[in-house]
Structure 1
């Protein structure tokens, strides 16, 4: 402390010196009084020396008082080592002044005077050591001087009894020194502890201030009566009121008046008398809701008596708002703001629990939306979906749920009070929606049209699960789309049976190639001018061990939709080429090609590979395509066809006349054959205009150097009509049904070209 120049030591020195100076006035008054008593005890034998001593004592006491007066107005909280040394020197000088008294006058003094000197001298030594206890060096110097002068005086007196007094003085001085040092240590420890407490208090104040300013939390404290104690500005802000209003306010009653919920939970938590956490309270002030979470613990005084509560209140408004936003986003479609699939599932579950015999689900799918989305861009597609959502909301009944399930698929859940009205109301709504959604949409400068197909599934008591209802609606929607789109269909058990059958066909078809269940049947094409069999068409057949014979009209669409057509088509092409190379010499083999196959960029390479592996000349292979191959990507389809034509392969346009733009395709690709659809053959027998169409097709084909084939010739009258119309070839059940290879070969061997068509023509 005496040598440390640090700020902390300076403050400790200031505390010690202040402790001494606080007692200085009383100590100096005692010095002046005791010196005066000594002077009074020598009034009968007063000498100039004693008077001078008294004057010195008065001067030293006065100077000490002056120093005290000056020090008390100092603003500094630190004291230098030099100031402590000056205080030590001052204590030593004062002790020397007192020490002169017994050294000079004790031996020659009278008995009463010696008693006075002894009593006052001993008292001053003890009192001085106590006053200077905070300054250990000053105290030691003071006591040492006093003890030395006392021993000198007793020794100089030369009386035997004073030897005992000297021992007592030594013991007294030692005890005074030990007590002074102990007092100094305790005082220093107390100062250090107090300074540390102040530092912690300041740190805590800073932390609390920062906590109040920066955190979303605030401290609260109430007494045993529930009144708020020292409410902070932050707490007032959280409670949306003024700090002065909160001071002394009963917390729970105030919350009961200003909260939407939670005040009762807080009252119960306080009543239990144990710490609590996350008690939620919702306050509404000024039209705004504030979500708070309180935690607290009971307070106890030094006697263990309950004295109130203290805790933290947290502002959870932002968290609650974020959770509500996430909840809305989780149950809302981000594009259309309709309910999403999750919300629809929850609503259906609720409906099945509450009214399992009432309600309906409408599943909607936009027709040709993909074409608009791909050609005009996703931004236009998104805008169109938003417009569709608005129309659905306009036409949906009140209290129904409109949802977007994803892509261009929507749903409406209807709630009914009368079970008997479910079918009628659902069908009527579906009809209105089909009409409304088919009206044009004005999106910027574009006027767009899309249609909609609707599947209806009733909640009729048989449905017990959400997925079951969705499956039923999906089955109905599939049926609506399969029968021309732009219409509504209601789920029936017959539809379910067809769906089950389709699933069985799909499952069996996946194993058909591997199990060698597929086969080819052959139907001849007959040249009507020479009556020769010039070609044959390979027709795919499937006989399943489980399903029996499955017609191509049933399993080929399934294969195309489920991505199995590439494998099945490649098998059919390879098998047909092998048969043409080995058993069907002299005739051209026609193989149907699916649009799915032609869309494969590797299709031309696959055909070339099959021709090379089977050894079949390219000009003996004819690939039959329909106009549907041009719907998705006309340029890509034409590129594939030109590549096939370059290999020497013949390409026939099947079902000619059923499309809306057949003539444009004829101008852009040199087809070898036009196959007239069987519908024209049938209608030509009844309608003259249909016959005229067939005749014009024959003339058009001849001008384009293409051959014509009429399919579906089943009666002699139809054959006569076909011949009269100028058609080149005929194909149909009148001539031959499709046959397995061995039967086809027998048929061709027995074919008599000399009979011409006479036996097939009507008499």
Structure 2
């Protein structure tokens, strides 16, 4: 059922893209038609390769796409102004639902088995802009919450194909968590509430602690868990942890990078680990990319980790199931 759902979503998006007539997207349509022809029975594979190619445009020299100079390094997207074009772009995504969900595995350490997945949004765009850029653009034109909710709806649909014993981590900003639509979406998602983790994306203003806690209380009472960033500046992250009483405290890539060589980072992680134990939460590492980083977070007794070293994001249900199938096949009898 999960494969059928993803295939239908992929075909819907492909049809929408190929129906456009804008001259600026002619190159993209040509490339997409070639991929569809190469994978006539697998629209999801064609769309995945399209996503990979367009995303690579922001990280590689000119590969023939118009408007990109081979000898000119690409710059990070500039701050997006409030423009009619920006609003039209976001409204087009919302109207045509031109986005998909990838999942990245979260592994228990040191055992290494998959215990959950994080949902990551992938946009079908002509310019290869990152997901963060799309959400920033939506926020700049007053459609940030609408885009988050559209992405959440896609993620909840895709999550039905994830093995039932894995949790699903969903990224939402504090403002979107307080939107009255969120509770209804989660309640009607066909996912058990105790499988859902809301990862708060961004710091919570101190004056919103009470309202955010109240908004999430009914869902947390039914098993929903929340995760917060524990690597904020100064005491901001500790204040947020004490106020929100999360179930999971995450240390992201910027904090994990080089942790094996930084006494300060290890001391900070150890302190956050003590705080986690004090409130009954667990500490998790995000963005683990080397064996040295994995060894360091394991030595610090973090409960879980994710990152390219442990599994890359993928939109394919076969990959999601393979994470657990390979473990069950390798496990000794009776374990």
CA contact (8 A) 2:169 2:197 kept: yes
Who is 2:93 aligned against? 512
Partner residue, 2:267: 692
Compute the RMSD of aligned alpha carbons.
Answer: 2.8
Aligned to 1:213: none
1:536 and 2:117 equivalent?
yes
Q: Is the aligned partner of 1:702 residue 2:260?
A: no
Give the TM-score, by structure 2 length: 0.68
The structure with the larger Rg is 1
User: Could you list the runs of 4 or more consecutive aligned residues of structure 1 that deviate by over 6 angstroms after TM superposition?
Assistant: 499-502, 753-756
Inter-partner Cα distance in structure 2 for 1:556 and 1:627: 13
CA offsets, 1:88-126, max 9 Å, x none?
Answer: xxxxxxxxxxxxxxxxxxxxxxxxxxxxxxxxxxxxxxx
Q: Name structure 2 gaps, 5 residues minimum.
A: 1-73
Q: 1:588 aligns with which of 154, 159, 167?
A: 167
Q: Secondary structure at the match of 2:188?
A: helix
The number of residue pairs the alignment matches comes to: 256
Task: Name the structure, 1 or 2, with higher relative contact order (CA <8 Å, separation 6+).
Answer: 2
Pick the aligned partner of 2:316 from 738, 741, 759.
741
* 2: CA distance, partners of 1:556 / 1:741: 23
Partner Cα distance (1:676, 1:537) in 2: 14
**Deviation digits for residues 234-280 of structure 1 (CA, Å, limit 9, x no counterpart):** xxxxxxxxxxxxxxxxxxxxxxxxxxxxxxxxxxxxxxxxxxxxxxx
Question: How do 1:62-77 and structure 2 match up within 5 A?
Answer: none
Distance 1:543 1:627, change over 3 A: closer
SS in 1 for 2:101: strand
Match of 2:190 among 615, 620, 628: 615
| Structure 1: tracts of 5 or more residues without a match | 1-493, 757-763
Q: Is the 2:230–2:241 Cα contact (8 Å) retained in structure 1?
A: no
Seen in structure 2, the aligned counterparts of structure 1 residues 648 and 564 have a Cα distance that, compared at 3 Å, is: same
Q: Is the 8 A contact 1:590 1:623 kept in 2?
A: yes
How far 1:505 moved relative to its partner?
A: 5.1
Q: Which residue of 1 aligns with 2:106?
A: 525
Distance 1:729 1:654 in 2: 14
Picking from 208, 217, 226, the partner of 1:633 is: 208
The answer (yes or no) to whether the contact 2:114–2:324 under 8 Å persists in 1 is no
The DSSP-based 3-state class of the residue aligned with 1:550 is coil
State whether residues 674 and 706 of structure 1, in contact with CA within 8 Å, keep that contact through their aligned partners in structure 2. yes
Q: Work out the CA distance in 1 between the residues paired with 2:137 and 2:105.
A: 27
- Residue 563 (str. 1) matches residue 142 (str. 2): yes
Q: Distance in 2 between matches of 1:580 and 1:500?
A: 31
| 1:642 aligns to 2:217 (yes or no) | yes
Cα distance in structure 1, aligned partners of 2:294 and 2:318: 23
User: In the TM superposition, what whole-angstrom CA distance separates every residue of 1:547-600 from its partner, at most 9, and x where no partner exists?
Assistant: 2x2211211111122221222222222222233334432111010111331343
* 1:180-191 matched pairs, under 5 angstroms: none
Deviation at 1:650, TM superposition (A): 0.6
Q: For the structure 1 residues 533 and 683, does the alpha-carbon distance in structure 2 shift closer, same or farther, using more than 3 Å as the test?
A: same
Cα 1:619–1:583 shift into 2, 3 Å: same
Q: Separation in 2 of the partners of 1:499 and 1:698? A: 35
Tell me the SS of whatever aligns to 1:514: helix
Deviations 1:298-352 (A, max 9, x none): xxxxxxxxxxxxxxxxxxxxxxxxxxxxxxxxxxxxxxxxxxxxxxxxxxxxxxx
- In the alignment, is the contact (CA less than 8 A) between 2:107 and 2:305 conserved in 1? yes
The aligned residue for residue 63 of structure 2 is none
> What CA distance in whole angstroms lies between the structure 1 residues aligned with 2:105 and 2:115?
8
1:678 to 231, 237, 253: 253
Assess if the C-alpha contact under 8 Å between 2:115 and 2:167 holds in 1: yes
Q: Secondary structure at the match of 2:170?
A: strand
**Structure-to-structure mapping, 1:75-114, within 5 angstroms:** none
